Amino acid sequence: MSRFIDLYVEQAVIGGIMLAAGRADGADMATDAIEGLTEDHFTATPHKVALRSYKRLNESGSKIDLLTLTSDLEQLGVLESAGGFAYLAECSKNTPSFATLQPTAKSFVKCTLVAV
């Protein structure tokens, strides 16, 4: 059985983390999402690379936003593997609200578990 792939949902999770982490009332949501996800939940390489950076930034207590994410990826030499600045900005821009992060991330994880 092949895995269900929905890049829009993956993008919404990646963008939602950025949006939530940048707000005082969303930081806990972002942390919960980061801790509840693994690279195996994602199918697209840019999303796996972004999650790896999110986890690293979160563990070090760094602020997570588009600039710190892209800076971290650039320092590691993997910014292009994550789709580049424009792609990551697009993920953030296309996410309607940080408030949808928790239900979206939970549904996303359930779908990946069912489809495996």
- The residue behind tokens 């895995």 is 3
Number of helices (H) and strands (E), helices first, in the chain? Answer: 6, 0
| CB-CB contact of 12 with 94 (8 Å) | yes
- The residue behind tokens 């801790």 is 35
Q: What is the largest CA-CA distance in the chain?
A: 41
pLDDT tens track for 49-64: 999 999 999 999 999 9
- Find the mean pLDDT for residues 26-33: 94
- Find the mean pLDDT for residues 15-28: 93
Tell me: domain 7-115, CATH 3.40.190.10, correct? no
CA angle 9, 15, 17 (to 5 degrees): 105
- pLDDT, position 115: 55
- pLDDT, position 93: 92
Joined together, the tokens standing for residue 48 give 């796996």
pLDDT tens track for 61-113: 999 999 999 999 999 999 999 999 999 999 999 887 888 888 888 888 888 76
Q: Kindly report the pTM of this predicted structure.
A: 0.87
Of 51, 56, 40, which Cα lies nearest the Cα of 15?
51
